[in-house]
Amino acid sequence: MHFRRLKDLRIDNDYTQKEIADILKIGRTQYNRYENGRRDIPVDLLSILSKLYDTSIDYIVGNTDIIKRYPESKKK
């Protein structure tokens, strides 16, 4: 379940819920709801977290077990 991955990634990277909430510019209670599966997390916040944890949104939401981030596109 992707909510478990949010918590695992946060703990593995030594962040508190408050620190992640501050990075996302939301309250800690709001972040807690995302992490515990009581609310769906918006894509824009998933994008921030995927960059922070250097992984893909697909990994966070459970669509893949490959933790490595996708390469950045080469836009001109």
11 residue type, one letter: I
Measure the CA–CA gap between 28 and 38, rounded to whole angstroms. Answer: 14
Tens-place pLDDT, residues 14-45: 999 999 999 999 999 999 999 999 999 999 99
Delineate the domains of the chain, giving CATH numbers in brackets.
Answer: 2-61 (1.10.260.40)
Query: How far from the centroid of its chain's Cα atoms is residue 37's Cα?
Result: 13
Measure the CA–CA gap between 72 and 39, rounded to whole angstroms. Answer: 29
Confidence at 68, pLDDT banded by 50, 70, 90: confident
66's tokens: 């490959």
Q: Is the pLDDT of residue 1 over 60?
A: no
14 residue type, one letter: D
| Rounded mean pLDDT, 42-69 | 92
- Are 9 and 38 spatial neighbours (Cβ–Cβ below 8 Å)? no
